[in-house]
A and B are shown apart, each in its own frame.
Chain A
Amino acid sequence: MIVASMVDVVKRYGKLQALDHVSLSIRKGEILGLLGPNGAGKTTAIRVLAGLIGADSGEIMLRGERQDVNNIRLKQHMGLVTQEVTIFEELTAEENLRFFGGLYGVKGELLRRRVKETLEFVGLSEYAKKEPGKFSGGMQRRLNIACALVHSPDFLIMDEPTVGIDPQSRNYILESVRCLAQNGTTVLYTSHYMEEVQAIADRIVIMDQGRVIADGTLEELIGRIQHEETIRITVTNPSSALTESFRAIQGVKTVTQKGADYTIVSGASSGNLNRVLAVAQQSGGVSNMAADKPTLEDVFLTLTGKKLRDGEASA
């Protein structure tokens, strides 16, 4: 079942085309990773989807209804984790949750219970009465997420929720996202950190310069690109004869030797790992072996011609 979709959506800011005929869909209960460098159009896509800004053209559907800035009712079922930490520093953690819960019409005993449960979920129960100005960056990020969860949304949009935090807090947040999805929440997760998207997303949409350039599971995306397999092996008895034996294996393109270390590059899906191992064992033995698998980074590089590192796309 499709929870949200965008069909042929265009959004311009003056001469800048922030969204260029963007189409994507999100299925119930999945984590959709929206990946792209800064300026790719991810935040604009999210804001259009959340009904914060209108699109110039195209159709945005949410729970089977047309989404636009005036459709206040649809927002009831949605939670938004903003890229910036958007909490009130002069209110305590608990008051922040009471405020945002109240905006969604959660009241009384239910609100008290939801505030307590949400603070427990993000691990901030013991800081309920503290003002977030005194929190660490990671704790503020967790409170930022809690504010979007307090009304129990069934569709959660997370816009780069881990920017600028320590690895421990990042892992905590990623684990929380998995947990939410297991409990049936549909999550749209945007990031420019490949490893995050690779780790948690069921499906990935890659955006660049306002366009969707790829959409699929990690395996599908990797399967679409032409990639070489690289095997790194350290042998006990290196020799020129062994080098020639590696070269003779079908599909091997290049063999590089540095002392006892060999780097063997084959064509995509050549399945040469076992053959290389067998040849090396025949000549005396193997002390170390590794095969480089293609990653999302390779997919991105192939599709855009750019590398994506910490949000900075470099040609």
Chain B
Amino acid sequence: MTIFRFALMRGLRKKSMFAALFAVPLAMIFIRPLWTPENGAGFVFYGMVILFAAFSLVRLIMTDRVSGTIVRIFAAPVTTFQYLSQNLLAYWLILGIQTVVMVAVGAMLYEWGIEMAAQLILCYTVFAVASIALSLAWTSLFRSKVISDAVFSIVVSFMALLGGIFIPLSMLPDILRKIGMLFPTYWFSNSLLGIRDGAASREYWLSLLIMLLLSAASLLYGSKRRLE
């Protein structure tokens, strides 16, 4: 598990990364108006934090590819599966810890209850998987980190818009809602609505399942690119 261990180390080594992973979300959770039952914007905004954090972590894989380090890694007795699975698992663990800390603090501050906290953790960790997979597929399209970053910001804005992050899904025109269904952000928003509507909500579980299916597709696509 050398790759996994060092992926954790690299993910947390930079102060800017550490701050983005823990300081920003923790600062968010203390902004009470974001987390009221009437507003609830904090729940979806935190999803965006996860998406950008996932992208920053997966950029390390792109860095390996662009710098040529991946050539040296594959010159060792390492398979593509080992390299990707250990890296992605490390990133997911980091985001998972972030989510647990965030929800635990939120539960204490806003009395969410164990059931809701568990549903939120599941929803955010599944969305973390989807975000990591999407970021992997995205970075596999580019050779330049600068271009990848720039275009990603634009695309994520559209995804957020179509996914009901900025505007509630119920207020989106039907055609935009249908387009939004192609992106995990839509199903993430939908799963949060499911939590609001009740623990056994069919929407909640269906949304999680679709996020996982989209993740599988993105992972398959993103893992095809082995060497530059």
Contact = CB atoms under 8 A, between A and B. Distances in A.
Interface of A: 47, 50-53, 72-73, 75-76, 78-80, 82-84, 86-88, 90-91, 95, 99-100, 102-105, 147-148
A40 to B, nearest CB: 19
The 5 A-B pairs of least Cβ separation, nearest first, read: A102-B2, A80-B75, A103-B76, A84-B68, A86-B69
B166 interface: no
Contacts of B76: 75, 100, 103-104
Contacts of A100: 72, 76
Given A82-B71, A86-B72, 5 more contacts: A53-B227, A75-B76, A86-B68, A91-B13, A102-B6
Nearest to A106: B2
Contacts of A88: 6, 10, 69
A87 B9 CA distance: 15
Contacts of A50: 75
Nearest to B74: A52
Given A88-B69, A103-B3, A76 B77 contact: yes
A228 B76 CA distance: 48
B150 interface: no
Nearest to B5: A102
B94 to A, nearest CB: 15
A105 B77 CA distance: 9
Contacts of A99: 2, 6
Given A86-B67, A95-B6, A99-B2, A147 B72 contact: yes
A52 B2 contact: no
B72 A82 contact: yes
Nearest to B17: A90
A75 B6 contact: no
A87 B13 CA distance: 15
Contacts of B78: 72, 103
A50 B76 CA distance: 9
Contacts of B227: 52-53
B10 A104 contact: no
Contacts of B74: 52
B201 interface: no
Contacts of A51: 75
B87 to A, nearest CB: 12
A102 to B, nearest CB: 3
Interface string B1-40: 0110110011001100000000000000000000000000
A26 B14 CA distance: 43
Contacts of B75: 50-52, 75, 78-80, 82
A76 B77 CA distance: 6
A47 B9 CA distance: 29
A103 B10 contact: no
Given A76-B77, A103-B2, A105-B77, A90 B14 contact: yes
Nearest to A102: B2
Contacts of A102: 2, 5-6
B10 A91 contact: yes
Nearest to B73: A103
Interface in B56-112: 67-69, 71-79
Contacts of A75: 75-77
A222 B79 CA distance: 44
A84 B77 contact: no
B217 to A, nearest CB: 25
B68 to A, nearest CB: 4
Given A78-B75, A100-B72, A84 B67 contact: yes
Contacts of B9: 91, 95
A82 B228 CA distance: 14
A52 B14 contact: no
Nearest to A47: B71
Given A53-B227, A75-B77, A90 B69 contact: no
Nearest to A101: B2
Interface string B43-67: 0000000000000000000000001
A121 B71 CA distance: 24
B80 to A, nearest CB: 10
B72 A104 contact: no
Nearest to A43: B71
A95 B10 CA distance: 11
A73 B79 CA distance: 11
A101 B69 CA distance: 14
Contact of B71 (A52, A104, A105): A52
